[in-house]
Structure 1
Amino acid sequence: MVQGVEIKANKIQDLSPQTGELIAEVACATVEEVESTVARARAAQPAWAARPLEERVAMLKAAVKVFKDETQELAALMTREMGKLIHESFEEVEGIADKDKFLELVEDANGEVVVANAIVYREPHGTVGIVAPWNFPMDEILLLALPALAAGNAVVVKPSEVAPLCGGAVVDGLNKTLPRGLLGIVQGDGAVGQILVDRVDMVGMTGSSATGKKILERASKSLKPCVLECGGKDPMLVLESANLETAAKDAVSFSVLNCGQVCCAIERIYVPETKAKEFEKLVVDEAKAYDPLDGTLAPLVSKVQRDVVAAHVTYALDAGARLLLGGPQVAADVEAKTPPGSSFYPVTVLADVPHDANRDETFGPTVAITPYADLGDALKMANDSKYGLTACVYGAEPKALDVAKKLKAGQVGVNTWPLAQAPLECPWIGHLESGFGYHSGPDGWRQFSVPKSIVKPAAS
């Protein structure tokens, strides 16, 4: 089960990460319910696709406005169910209620194009299944559902079983104004997801690389198109010329955002040996501002995830890493002072982390620093990964830009974390095992439709 979520009597046991208490029991969809939901979506799709593109986009803009009046309730639900800090929940909910520019760009990406004596139209796939993650349980649904709907598709969403109420709230909100049956929802675990994948015409997913591989394998049987945004183990390279204060601040901020549960969180930091001690002190000073006991650090989403983080920390320490902050003893103290069913873990800063002891995605509040003597070696270590989602380089240009071009990742920040500054127009692409297809940007939004060329006789 994802994050250890239990299903009893075909109902998801939805637990609070702050206390371990049961929030709700959510019924899983049966095979028949998945099939009937997809059937309703298929029936509604032709009439929706027949509407002009600009009309569909206008209706979607109006649909998300409902969230403006529900900001407090939705943010509170997200914090209760998923665990993130309330101000982070508010930011996510405010984002889902303001999609005008996003949808305008989606509309531009789907418009017809005249090419000499031909017109290139775009046609929807039909019904799109969306498998959503738990770490951004509302916005990640819209980032896939809105472009899919704008392109003329019907959509059926399977929220993560870790945050089913958040997914349900998003779908219910949109359905207040969208045509009946066009947007459906099926709750459940991976078994429900498999049924959905088998019955739709396209799949969009944000989640782990393991889940992405399973979806791609099932979809390959019918050459079903997929857009899969998967995991990462994202590096930061600090150059000799870097502003260490800025680099240290960002290293901590974007290692612990959402308690580190971000696919593009900074998980590996490579620092020149000559700057290591100064950088370590700056990082520790920054990291001390986050404490699960005073409400400045959220719990991890589950006890399972807390155990994963703890195991990664122990593995690195056993391999020779130095503990600068947090770690097993502090984690034990935190556990003793928080509710028995909670899943808090302290920010943990490690130095001298062997490269080979930091390969798997941690998804937690850890800052892992590895020194290097030669920039060429640092580049090799940064690129020596099965993942390739994001990376960042801190240092003076043009050297930093040159290094950025050599990193194997879909998005690379220069003196910034890419997710914090990337324009909406940029595609979000995972290289290697971090993704399949394109998520966002014109290249990504066009994946929810197929081009169709109407060719006329060429002028003589």
Structure 2
Amino acid sequence: VQGIPIQDGCILNKNPATGELISKVPITTNVEEIVEKAHDAFLPWSTTTSAQERIELLKKGLEEIKSISTELAPLITQEMGKPLLEAQGEVEGVADKDEYFQILQDALQPIQHNSSTVIRQALGVVVILSPWNFPADEILLLALPALASGNTVIVKPSEVTPETGRMVVESMAKYLPTNVLQVAQGDGSVGAALVGNTSVKMVCMTGSSATGKKILSTAAPQLKRCVLELGGKDPMIVFDSADLEKAAHDAVAYSLSNSGQVCCSIERIYVADAVHDEFCKVVSEKFAPNFKVGNGMEMENLVGPLVSTTQKEHVEAHVQDAIDKGAELLYQSSVPEDAPEGSSFFPVTVLSNVQRGMRLYDEETFGPVVALTRFSGQEREAIDLANNDSPYGLGSAVYTKDEELAQRVATQIQAGQVGINCYALDHMDVACPWVGHKESGFGFHSGRQGFENFSLPKTIVNVPK
């Protein structure tokens, strides 16, 4: 998808900031053998260990990841470009899971109903196709509940971040029985072979909606269970009563986080007519210029390169199309003048008058662009724009000092997460599920409700004599 080169059976793993080769990673050719090993390891893993014992082993794996954080965080930056500070935050977040494990353990406990007991039973072999934008966190978000539930797991990291995926999986697998957790490297053909294998009982994927639909099609003949976190085009609604400084700060920060390469990145900002011009001024003159573009290994840079030259061309096309069709360029940053050939830096860009019919408005962009659209300020129009102008429904945000208005709008927006005067992802409790509505997801993960997707309930009835 990202145009990652493959040569002599190896992924050519390159740094998007420099174009330099990091490593050559051999593509897995023995997919059937790996699945068979996972299948053979399933029964002893699921039947001879308790949920508590499995969780204790997983905690040891997370301690291992914490111990290598000074190696893992820079590797993330080198492979996919995000600023080192963001990579460090990702690694620190995956290692801090005490409350998470308590909720997970509670979700796996038997429930007694008179003469009936409901237990949780593992599914079997689970395949995780992990993304490149959060290459450590997204593996563990899915692997931890899958393993704790008694499943065996095969992780195929994105071909963009193969070494990060390998390091995370090997760190966790060190404390687990042989073949309970394995890694398979490669492109979409390896993923397709895993999804289509008849011994695989569940597929988890974070990625594009188009890829998710292909996975569902492949999984359908066997009715494999799927948890798919897919694309997004998240709206942010700024009403005229909003705290404009706070809203403008968040509009910029959460459009540009990870260079805009986040499924729940803010990609559509609807600003009430009464405050539109002032808001645009604060965004473009006060906040956007603070985000310097450059190599993520240099701490002063808050926006790294895009993940690949393919992604850079995609974002360039969206921005140029918008300008050609009438969008106004309010601000555009510089990029490193000495950027080497093969790097993929894209300037921080602020555009107003972004409208329907522009690719920047209609499609997922995934780049460091702040896209502003004027609306009347009416509640009904805001809801209709948020819901009807995109097939996606991952996250969203509403900014207003009117609490009743905020609650009304939040309950009507078709999205899995809605932030009121905040960005939901940054403030969600660990007990909450992460859900994509519409074409942003199929199934869901996290929170007790999400953890339960990695096992099946079984009712055992024992009537006393």
Q: Please classify the TM superposition score into its range, dividing by the shorter chain length.
A: over 0.9
Note the alpha carbon deviations across 1:123-182, whole angstroms, 9 max, x for none.
Answer: 011010000000000110000000000000000000000110000000111121111111
Q: Does 1:5 align with 2:4?
A: yes
Aligned to 1:395: 400
Match of 1:431 among 437, 441, 448: 437
Amino acid at match of 1:292: V
Q: Which stretch of structure 1 is more off in the superposition, 220-229 or 95-104?
A: 95-104
Q: Give the distance between the partners of 1:134 and 1:203, measured in 2 at CA.
A: 17
- Aligned-pair distance for 1:337? 3.4
Indicate if the aligned counterparts of 1:239 and 1:400 stay in contact, CA closer than 8 A.
no
Amino acid at match of 1:159: P
Note the alpha carbon deviations across 1:375-415, whole angstroms, 9 max, x for none.
Answer: 32222111121100011100120111111111010110111
- Aligned-pair distance for 1:97? 1.9
Amino acid at match of 1:389: L
Amino acid at match of 1:78: I
Aligned to 2:391: 386
Amino acid at match of 1:390: G
Q: Give the distance between the partners of 2:112 and 2:266, measured in 1 at CA.
A: 43
Q: Which stretch of structure 1 is more off in the superposition, 126-135 or 350-359?
A: 350-359
Q: Does 1:228 align with 2:228?
A: yes
Q: Give the distance between the partners of 1:206 and 1:26, measured in 2 at CA.
A: 22
Aligned to 2:59: 61
Match of 1:37 among 14, 34, 38: 34
Cα distance change of structure 1 residues 320 and 116 upon mapping to structure 2, 3 Å threshold: farther
Q: What secondary structure, in the 3-state scheme, does the structure 2 residue paired with 1:450 have?
A: strand
Q: Give the distance between the partners of 1:414 and 1:96, measured in 2 at CA.
A: 26
Amino acid at match of 1:20: G
Q: Give the distance between the partners of 1:68 and 1:335, measured in 2 at CA.
A: 33
Q: What secondary structure, in the 3-state scheme, does the structure 1 residue paired with 2:185 have?
A: coil
Q: Give the distance between the partners of 2:246 and 2:134, measured in 1 at CA.
A: 26
- Aligned-pair distance for 1:116? 3.1
Q: What secondary structure, in the 3-state scheme, does the structure 2 residue paired with 1:356 have?
A: coil
Indicate if the aligned counterparts of 2:415 and 2:436 stay in contact, CA closer than 8 A.
yes
Aligned to 2:453: 447
Indicate if the aligned counterparts of 2:293 and 2:336 stay in contact, CA closer than 8 A.
no
Q: Give the distance between the partners of 2:439 and 2:215, measured in 1 at CA.
A: 13
Q: What secondary structure, in the 3-state scheme, does the structure 2 residue paired with 1:106 have?
A: helix
Q: How does 1:292-331 map to 2 (within 5 A)?
A: 292-293=293-294, 295-326=301-332
Q: Give the distance between the partners of 1:356 and 1:394, measured in 2 at CA.
A: 26
Aligned to 1:271: 271
Q: Give the distance between the partners of 1:103 and 1:167, measured in 2 at CA.
A: 22
Amino acid at match of 1:366: V
Q: Which stretch of structure 1 is more off in the superposition, 234-243 or 294-303?
A: 294-303
Amino acid at match of 1:360: E
**TM-score after normalising by structure 1:** 0.96
Q: Give the distance between the partners of 1:221 and 1:306, measured in 2 at CA.
A: 37
Cα distance change of structure 1 residues 222 and 277 upon mapping to structure 2, 3 Å threshold: same
Aligned to 2:380: 376
Aligned to 1:131: 129
- Aligned-pair distance for 1:111? 1.2
Q: Give the distance between the partners of 2:40 and 2:97, measured in 1 at CA.
A: 27
Amino acid at match of 1:311: A
- Aligned-pair distance for 1:184? 0.8
Aligned to 2:287: 286
Aligned to 2:415: 409
Q: Give the distance between the partners of 1:181 and 1:337, measured in 2 at CA.
A: 46
- Aligned-pair distance for 1:115? 2.2
Q: What secondary structure, in the 3-state scheme, does the structure 1 residue paired with 2:319 have?
A: helix
Aligned to 2:297: none
- Aligned-pair distance for 1:441? 1.3
Q: Give the distance between the partners of 2:381 and 2:323, measured in 1 at CA.
A: 22
Q: How does 1:16-31 map to 2 (within 5 A)?
A: 16-30=15-29
Match of 1:418 among 421, 424, 449: 424
Q: Does 1:78 align with 2:76?
A: yes
Q: How does 1:28-177 map to 2 (within 5 A)?
A: 28-30=27-29, 33-50=30-47, 51-177=49-175
Percent of aligned pairs with the same residue?
49
Q: Give the distance between the partners of 2:201 and 2:259, measured in 1 at CA.
A: 35
Q: What secondary structure, in the 3-state scheme, does the structure 2 residue paired with 1:120 have?
A: strand
Match of 1:190 among 170, 188, 191: 188
- Aligned-pair distance for 1:367? 0.5
- Aligned-pair distance for 1:41? 1.3
Amino acid at match of 2:321: Y
Amino acid at match of 2:462: K
Aligned to 2:250: 250
- Aligned-pair distance for 1:21? 1.1
Indicate if the aligned counterparts of 1:355 and 1:370 stay in contact, CA closer than 8 A.
no
Q: Give the distance between the partners of 2:354 and 2:458, measured in 1 at CA.
A: 52
- Aligned-pair distance for 1:335? 6.7
Q: Give the distance between the partners of 1:295 and 1:447, measured in 2 at CA.
A: 39
Aligned to 1:209: 209
Q: Which stretch of structure 1 is more off in the superposition, 428-437 or 93-102?
A: 93-102
Aligned to 2:366: 363
Indicate if the aligned counterparts of 1:255 and 1:266 stay in contact, CA closer than 8 A.
yes
Aligned to 2:342: 341
Q: Which stretch of structure 1 is more off in the superposition, 429-438 or 42-51?
A: 42-51
Note the alpha carbon deviations across 1:49-93, whole angstroms, 9 max, x for none.
Answer: 121111111111112110121111111111111111011111111
Note the alpha carbon deviations across 1:280-337, whole angstroms, 9 max, x for none.
Answer: 01111101001214623211111111111111111111221111011xxx6xx63753
Note the alpha carbon deviations across 1:337-389, whole angstroms, 9 max, x for none.
Answer: 31111111111001111133201111111100101113322221111211000
Q: Give the distance between the partners of 2:92 and 2:114, measured in 1 at CA.
A: 43
Q: What secondary structure, in the 3-state scheme, does the structure 1 residue paired with 2:119 have?
A: strand
Indicate if the aligned counterparts of 2:379 and 2:409 stay in contact, CA closer than 8 A.
no
State how many pairs are aligned.
Answer: 451
Q: Which stretch of structure 1 is more off in the superposition, 340-349 or 355-364?
A: 355-364
Q: What secondary structure, in the 3-state scheme, does the structure 1 residue paired with 2:357 have?
A: helix
Q: Give the distance between the partners of 2:379 and 2:327, measured in 1 at CA.
A: 21
Indicate if the aligned counterparts of 1:65 and 1:98 stay in contact, CA closer than 8 A.
no
